Amino acid sequence: MHTPMRECIGCGKKVQKQAMLRIVKKEGQISLDTTGKSEGRGAYLCKNIECLDECIKRKKLNRAFKQNVSDDIYNKLSEEMRHLFE
C-alpha cells in the first residue's frame, strides 16, 4: 500500500504523513491541525522538538505559506506543539 509522505519544513526530510504534525492555513488563519483532516493549505513537521525549533528559529512557515507569519503565531504554535511533546 502506498504511504503518503510529506516533507518536513524543519529538517526537510520526507516522512510518513501520519507521523507528522500538520499546520494548516485556512481563511488566512494559521493553526495546528490536530485532526490532520482540516481543509486548507498544510505544512508538515516531524513530531519532535528539533524540527519545531528549527521551524520557529528559521521562520519556515513564511515560505510554506508564502507570507510573513507573525511572531505571535509562531509563539502560539510553539506552545501548542510543545504541549503535545510533554
Q: Is 51 in the site for Zn ion (CB under 5 A)?
A: yes
Q: Is 81 in the site for Zn ion (CB under 5 A)?
A: no
Task: Report the residue number, 10 or 42, with the smaller CB distance to Zn ion.
Answer: 10
- Taking each helix axis from N to C end, the angle separating 71-85 and 49-57, rounded to the nearest 10 degrees, works out to 170
Integer Cα distance of 21 and 27 in angstroms: 20
Q: Is 61 in the site for Zn ion (CB under 5 A)?
A: no
Task: Report the residue number, 56 or 72, with the smaller CB distance to Zn ion.
Answer: 56
Widest CA span in the chain: 40
> Does residue 44 contact residue 16 with C-beta atoms inside 8 Å?
no
Integer Cα distance of 70 and 46 in angstroms: 22
Task: Report the residue number, 60 or 72, with the smaller CB distance to Zn ion.
Answer: 60
Q: Is 55 in the site for Zn ion (CB under 5 A)?
A: no
Provide the minimum distance between the beta carbon of 72 and Zn ion in the complex, in angstroms, as a whole number: 23
Residues that bind Zn ion in the complex, under the rule CB under 5 A: 8, 10-11, 46, 51
